[in-house]
Structure 1
Amino acid sequence: MAKDVLVTETLSEQMIKAGAKLIERLDAANAEIKSAFWLFLSEEKTWKLVLASPLVGSEGPRDFYKKVVSTNQLSTDEEETISLNDVGVANTDNQIVELMKIAISTDDGISGIRFSRNTINGMFIEDSYIYRSRS
């Protein structure tokens, strides 16, 4: 049985690796991930893995969360999964997803871009770690 990654106020290497593995599994499941990034929520003092896909709009967030759960269950014993409480799903037209695409554009692969203490179109981003950000 895989164990959940402990999400804390500090973005850990373990969180970064677990996020990348989840995105790889979602890619294999044809989840159409267009944007994926850890976002620091300063009011809650925690990180949230944001996954944006057009399937959230067409199939609904509940079905997409089910896809996340099923791909998490595909992890091996050595891999660690991210609790569903630490994952947020969004349609590709979500405001924060759109802002991230303005700031940084990546290819279809998994990047590793730290984006901290920046303002995009008047919105302050305390901290984020971007795996993918594309149209």
Structure 2
Amino acid sequence: MAKEIFITQWFSDEMLLAGETLLKHLDETNAKVAAAFWILEDKDKAWELTIVSPLVENEGPRNYYKRINDINQSAKIDEKVVSLHDIRVSNNNNRIVKAIKNSVLGNAVLGNNRLGRNFMSGVYFEDMYLYRMDWELLSQKLDKAS
């Protein structure tokens, strides 16, 4: 079975690659990842990988975590995975996503960027690594039957 990565106060290449691998597997399962980013929580100094998808609202967070857990369980022995303990799932109403959306002009392409010490639309974040921000998926409302 795969090995969980160790999350530290410093953002590591191991965290970056493990997050990329998870996103690749989520894309392969049509998980509709609208935004994904590592964020350093200022008070706890702990990194969390946040996955934003309209499916979280549609399927419920428990089912979306199960989807991630299934991916982790099926990971190859040489793959590093992010523990569910270090992952947060959210629907499209995520406060960080809203803050970035309100601060960015138009539909700017955002992805694979390190954003440190930012204050956007009233929300401060100490450090962040943004994998993607898919404006089209973020504007979607899915039917419960989807």
Give how far 1:97 is off. 1.9
The aligned residue for residue 21 of structure 2 is 21
CA distance in 2, matches of 1:128, 1:24: 20
Dislocated runs of 4+, deviation >4 Å: none
Counterparts of 1:59 and 1:51, CA distance in 2: 14
**Which AA in structure 1 matches 2:85?**
N
**Residue 72 (structure 1) aligns with:** 72
RMSD: 1.4
Q: 1:111-133 CA deviation, whole Å, 9 max, x = no partner?
A: 42000111101211110000011
Q: 1:87, CA displacement in angstroms? A: 0.1
Partner amino acid, structure 1, of 2:76: T
Distance apart, 1:74 and its partner CA: 2.5
Q: Percent identity?
A: 38
Query: Which residue is 1:93 aligned to?
Result: 93
Contact 2:48–2:87 (CA<8 Å) still a contact in 1? yes
Gaps of 5+ in 2: 136-146
Count of residues in correspondence between the two structures: 132
Q: For residues 101 and 42 of structure 1, do their structure 2 counterparts lie closer, same or farther at Cα, with a shift above 3 Å needed?
A: same
Q: Which amino acid aligns with 2:90?
A: A
* Structure 1 unaligned spans of 5+: none
- Measured in 1, the distance between the counterparts of 2:119 and 2:31 equals 29
- Aligned equivalent of 1:106, options 101, 105, 109: 109
2-side partners of 1:106 and 1:24: how far apart? 19
Q: Are the counterparts in 2 of residues 38 and 48 from structure 1 also a CA contact under 8 Å?
A: yes
Q: TM-score, normalised by structure 2?
A: 0.85
Give the drift of 1:98. Answer: 1.6
Cα deviation 1:70-93 (Å, max 9, x = unaligned): 111222111100000000000011
Contact 1:36 1:49 in 2 (8 A): yes
Deviation at 1:103, TM superposition (A): 4.4
Map residues 1-135 of structure 1 onto 2, 5 A cutoff: 1-103=1-103, 105-106=108-109, 111-135=111-135
1:36-61 Cα deviation digits (max 9, x unpaired): 00000121111000000000001110
User: Structure 2 CA distance, aligned partners of 1:43 and 1:106?
Assistant: 30
